[in-house]
Amino acid sequence: MAEYDYDLFVIGAGSGGVRASRIAASHGARVAVAEEFRVGGTCVIRGCVPKKLLVYGSHFAEELQDAAHYGWSVEGMSFDWARLRDTVLRDVDRLNGLYEQTLSNNKVERFLERAEITGPNAVRLASGREISAKYILVAVGAWPVLPEFEGVEHCITSNEVFHLPELPRRVVIQGAGYIALEFAGIFNALGSQVTVVNRSDQILRGYDESLRDRLLQITMARGIEYKFQCPIRKVEKQEDGSLMVTAGNRDPFPADAVLVATGRRPKTDGLGLESAGVQLGEKGEIPVDEYSRTSCPSIYAVGDVTDRVQLTPVAIREGHAFADTVFGGKPRTVDYSCIPSAVFSQPPLAGVGLTEGQARNAYGNIKVYTSDFRPMKNVFADRMERGLYKLVVDANSDRVLGVHLIGPDAPEILQAAAIAVKAGLTKAQFDDTVAIHPSMAEELVLMR
């Protein structure tokens, strides 16, 4: 008889956990996975996928307005929040089913209940069943952080925003990271009055400063109000169901929904990690080595629960590398350099490599090339918004250190440019590439 019930027991069926389960099973491992909510994880169930669908839906407000400039007459326009919301949730159901099918097709046993670690090779399910495994992988992700202030129970997070019964007329969003600004753009486009309040005086910390400034200018022109150095101190529910928000030293102002988007914390509370001697960081994260191993040799962790990069594609790569290393006889690690990222704000921005500030600190002698242009689409639609593309280049080697874009379809364009930056291509090689005309992407090879 086998010494353990399973070769691998995975806690959490998100992007990283599902990939690790599937690949480990393909290597011949006996695999089980426990998930207390739904298969798919944050990205599929309550994160980037449904949020991107809301972004698409909100774009039609602008497209329909612009249609007249292209010769289209659109009459009787109206918007139904419930229809968009329910369409998005149906697609989440579809994706949940596909993820379950992936596990089933790979003969991964599923336990749709909570699991807690009881030792280096043991877990206990919520039903009380005890299970042993040679290896345990923790892939439970992260959870929204709610700051402490009076009335916080009246606020929502990115978990609940997809289930709002109706479109709020007035939305207050605390935070200025990518989640906050993506939802600010969605609600603004759908017609809500949006106010962003933030503890600091910056948005999108970590992104290139020029892009951040451009996004701030454009979104303010679109009607989004910002209150900086102004964290929420109190939220009071009124008799009519609306909310009164007190932020910073400002006078209270009304809202119909308050969305808190001030960050996410690894979801390790109550997981029983201490029973196996797994050390945690200050924010509850699980420190791991380059092969995703924790301080307990039989327990690994991937994805947002660790102290690395909180991005879905990164979690997928970590899960795959873990399975290849432990069960495939092919030890390998994940390269965290030059990871591209995007913010699906309106307009969206995207970047890869070093920002201008980071490059100056690291290399000193750099060259910066920019293209500040009005996209053809905006010209035809009589919109004054301008795009901004930036190349950050090492002056000594001519290597492109970073590419940063803001404008329509910026994330779609950046993906190809990220390959060039990752490959270490030079500005001269960009210049040698023939442009695709007319396109916005051609600006990447025309900067002189």
| Eight-state DSSP code of residue 200 | S
Q: Is 366 annotated as a binding residue?
A: no
Q: What residue has token string 């949730």?
A: 89
Q: Is 59 a catalytic residue?
A: no
Residue 41 marked ligand-binding: no
Are 162 and 90 in contact by the 8 Å Cβ rule? The answer is: no
Residue 177 labeled ligand binder: yes
178 assigned ligand-binding residue = yes
Among residues 388, 354, 384, 382, the alpha carbon closest in space to that of 370 is found at: 388
| Cβ–Cβ under 8 Å, residues 174 and 336 | no
Q: Does 223 count as an annotated binding residue?
A: no
Three-state SS string over the chain comes to CCCCCEEEEEECCCHHHHHHHHHHHHCCCCEEEECCCCCCHHHHHHCHHHHHHHHHHHHHHHHHHHHHHHCCCCCCCCCCHHHHHHHHHHHHHHHHHHHHHHHHHCCCEEECCCEEEEECCEEEECCCCEEEEEEEEECCCEEECCCCCECHHHCECCCCHHHCCCCCCEEEEECCCHHHHHHHHHHHHCCCEEEEECCCCCCCCCCCHHHHHHHHHHHHHCCCEEECCCCEEEEEECCCCCEEEEECCCCCEEECEEEECCCEEECCCCCCHHHHCCCCCCCCCECCCCCCECCCCCEEECHHHECCCCCHHHHHHHHHHHHHHHHCCCCCCCCCCCCCEEECCCCCEEEEECCHHHHHHHHCCEEEEEEEECCHHHHHCCCCCCEEEEEEEECCCCEEEEEEEECCCHHHHHHHHHHHHHCCCEHHHHHHCCCCCCCCHHHHHCCC
Q: Does 136 belong to an annotated binding site?
A: no
| C-alpha dihedral, 137 to 141 to 146 to 147, nearest 10° | 70
- Do the annotations mark residue 270 as ligand-binding? no
Catalytic residue among 27, 163, 404, 437: 437
* Gap between the Cα atoms of 217 and 349, Å rounded: 13
Nearest CA among 5, 14, 2 for reference residue 305: 14
Flag whether 180 is marked binding. yes
Annotated binding-site residue? 164: no
DSSP run (H or E) holding 61: helix 48-66
Binding residues for FAD, as ranges, are 52, 304
Binding residues for NAD(+), as ranges, are 175-182, 263
Binding residues, as ranges, are 52, 175-182, 263, 304
Provide the annotated active-site residues. Answer: 437
